[in-house]
Structure 1
Amino acid sequence: MADGAIAADQLKLFIERIERLEEEKKAIADDISDVYKEAKANGYDAKIMRTIVRLRKMESHELQEQDALIETYRAAVGLS
């Protein structure tokens, strides 16, 4: 029975850590949102900024592959 109590205590600690991290994640998401709002207020396009942030996370070869596919699709629909 002692093992069950220990396991329950450990589980509770894990849950509490997750909850704290979720709160931190929410606070960070709010901070990021505030930065986008500030940038928008200064005349920048937040949607394009989000795209640039996403692209900067990509590996070079992934970015090149995506660019090639976009160009192929643009040409196929007459946007080139």
Structure 2
Amino acid sequence: MTREEEVIRAYVARYRRLFEERKGISDDLSALDKEAKAEGLDPKMLRATVKALEVEAAARDRIDQTFTAYLAAAGGTTAPDGATEGDLL
């Protein structure tokens, strides 16, 4: 076997192992979603909460403000007190 073949086989083995680990993690997350749902919780909201907690507070505030502005501009909600549509965008 050539060095190139050995390197390729090693990479293929690593990919296979990581794909299997990813499947296991995916299965674990699915089971966790089912457990949360059985407790009456919303798995999508739990995942969103985890993602939000990974973002720094200042960045999260900017994201929330931008989302609120887009939602208001699209007619999904009213603008914050005293704000006009121009202030939001």
Other-structure match for 2:5: 8
Determine helix, strand or coil for the equivalent of 1:51.
helix
TM-score, scaled to structure 2: 0.75
Q: In the alignment, residue 75 of structure 1 is paired with which amino acid?
A: A
Number of matched residues?
A: 77
1:79 matches 2:47: no
For residues 65 and 48 of structure 2, what CA distance do their matches in structure 1 show? 17
The higher-RCO structure (CA 8 Å, 6+ apart) is 2
Dislocated runs of 4+, deviation >6 Å: none
Cα RMSD (Å):
1.7
- Structure 2 counterpart of 1:36: 33
Q: Which structure's residues are more often helix, by fraction?
A: 1
What aligned pairs does 1:7-26 form with structure 2 within 5 A after superposition? 7-26=4-23
5+ residue gaps, structure 2, are 79-89
Structure 1 unmatched ranges of 5 or more: none
Deviations 1:59-78 (A, max 9, x none): 33321111111222233325
Matched, 1:70 2:67: yes
